[in-house]
């Protein structure tokens, strides 16, 4: 195997000079640089990328941590982030945090040791105090961590307005909203709070059905949907994420409950799940591809040492007019 020493001997220069040429770091005359590059070509020398990265404290590796990589929202987000990062010269390390309590902390530790250049963090379980001690590049997805770390999210206030407006037009007076744990300071908590306030201000009733914070499998969503529908038989509408609402639709069909005549359903996320059901589910659509692009740009901005102009970047949502709230 050809080494730096071999290149140095062939070019008649010091090994340190070869290193300067490889890393493009420090002054080397154009004539000497050409000699080194010629020797590398003739010897078919390929630089050790890992060693090069370590010498400049750069790995070209980005961590993406999401609760569950199979969940439609997170998998779609990961797909777009990975593509954007690859196009910009970065590789990715993707991890789901559900069932692994130490993943968030370990990724932060790796980041602090320069094992990776940055993290896009979408996991929701680690206490935010663990983020105080790092000044390395991090972007948060829909969770406020601290004033230094940028956060990208959808416009949850607008999402609530669209949701409640659609239920109002459908004549609903008693809705049930599926919610996760609200102890992690998530942006989506705003959606939940505004939905309840807006609906009740109109003189209607909105109940919460709280799910476990680690609810991500289809079986868990089915159980939650079944329990909620049995508990709230008098409700005329259910609001929740795509997967839990798709299970509500399935249960309603099995029980002979007519959707949307007897029961209205509206989902939040608007992934492909809402379009493969029959009928198509009315949904608040998050701009997942744009969220991914915004998060990627904000992270690379930090990696390149540029100041972040916006700490909370909010994107508007839209509504998919399906057949479950007509």
What local confidence, expressed as pLDDT, does residue 272 receive?
96
Locate all alpha helices (DSSP H) within 277-321, ordered by sequence: 288-303
What local confidence, expressed as pLDDT, does residue 118 receive?
94
Is this prediction's pTM over 0.95? no
Tell the burial category of 147 from Cβ atoms under 10 Å away from its Cβ (0-12, 13-18, 19+): exposed
| Buried-state track 109-123, b at ≥16 Cβ within 10 A, e below 16 | ebbeeeebbbbbbbb
Could you give the 3-state DSSP secondary structure of residue 269?
A: strand
What local confidence, expressed as pLDDT, does residue 51 receive?
55
Q: Is residue 274 a contact partner of residue 280, using CB atoms and an 8 Å limit?
A: yes
Sign of the dihedral defined by the CA atoms of residues 265, 98, 103, 178, in that order: positive
Sign of the dihedral defined by the CA atoms of residues 124, 128, 134, 137, in that order: positive
What local confidence, expressed as pLDDT, does residue 44 receive?
87
What local confidence, expressed as pLDDT, does residue 103 receive?
82
What local confidence, expressed as pLDDT, does residue 2 receive?
82
Q: Please choose, from the candidates 215, 275, 206, the residue with its C-alpha nearest in 3D space to the C-alpha of residue 237.
A: 206
User: How far is residue 155 CA from its own chain's centroid?
Assistant: 15
Q: CA angle at residue 320 from 190 to 199, to 5 degrees? A: 40
- Parts of the chain with a pLDDT under 70: 25, 48-57, 182-184
Which residues are bridge partners to 208 per DSSP? 177
What local confidence, expressed as pLDDT, does residue 57 receive?
60
Q: Is residue 132 a contact partner of residue 77, using CB atoms and an 8 Å limit?
A: no
Q: Which residue has the tokens 């209205």?
A: 264
What local confidence, expressed as pLDDT, does residue 128 receive?
83
Q: Please choose, from the candidates 98, 66, 67, 71, the residue with its C-alpha nearest in 3D space to the C-alpha of residue 82.
A: 66
Tell the burial category of 98 from Cβ atoms under 10 Å away from its Cβ (0-12, 13-18, 19+): buried
């Amino acid at each position: 195997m050809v080494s730096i020493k071999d290149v140095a001997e062939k070019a008649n220069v010091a090994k340190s000079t070869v290193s300067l040429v490889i890393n493009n770091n420090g002054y080397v005359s154009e004539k000497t640089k050409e000699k080194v590059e010629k020797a590398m070509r003739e010897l078919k020398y390929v630089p050790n990328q890992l060693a090069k990265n370590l010498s400049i404290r750069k790995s070209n590796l980005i961590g993406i941590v999401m609760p569950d990589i199979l969940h439609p929202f997170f998998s779609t987000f990961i797909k777009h982030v990975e593509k954007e990062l690859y196009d910009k010269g970065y590789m990715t390390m993707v991890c789901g945090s559900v069932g692994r309590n130490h993943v968030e902390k370990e990724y932060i530790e790796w980041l602090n040791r320069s094992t990776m250049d940055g993290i896009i963090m979408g996991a929701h379980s680690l206490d935010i105090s663990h983020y105080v001690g790092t000044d390395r590049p991090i972007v948060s997805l829909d969770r406020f961590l601290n004033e230094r770390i940028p956060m990208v999210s959808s416009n949850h206030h607008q999402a609530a307005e669209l949701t409640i407006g659609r239920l109002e037009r459908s004549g609903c007076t008693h809705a049930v909203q599926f919610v996760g744990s609200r102890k992690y300071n998530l942006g989506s908590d705003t959606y939940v709070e505004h939905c309840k306030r807006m609906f009740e201000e109109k003189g209607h009733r909105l109940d919460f059905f709280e799910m476990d914070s680690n609810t991500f499998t289809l079986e868990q969503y089915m159980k939650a949907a079944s329990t909620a529908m049995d508990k709230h038989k008098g409700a005329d509408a259910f609001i929740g994420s795509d997967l839990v609402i798709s299970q509500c639709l399935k249960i309603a069909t099995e029980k002979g409950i007519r959707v949307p005549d007897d029961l209205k359903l509206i989902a939040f996320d608007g992934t492909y799940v809402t379009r493969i059901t029959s009928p198509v589910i009315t949904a608040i659509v998050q701009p997942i591809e744009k969220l991914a692009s915004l998060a990627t740009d904000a992270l690379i901005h930090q990696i390149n040492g540029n100041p972040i102009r916006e700490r909370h970047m909010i994107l508007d949502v839209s509504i998919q007019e399906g057949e479950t709230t007509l």
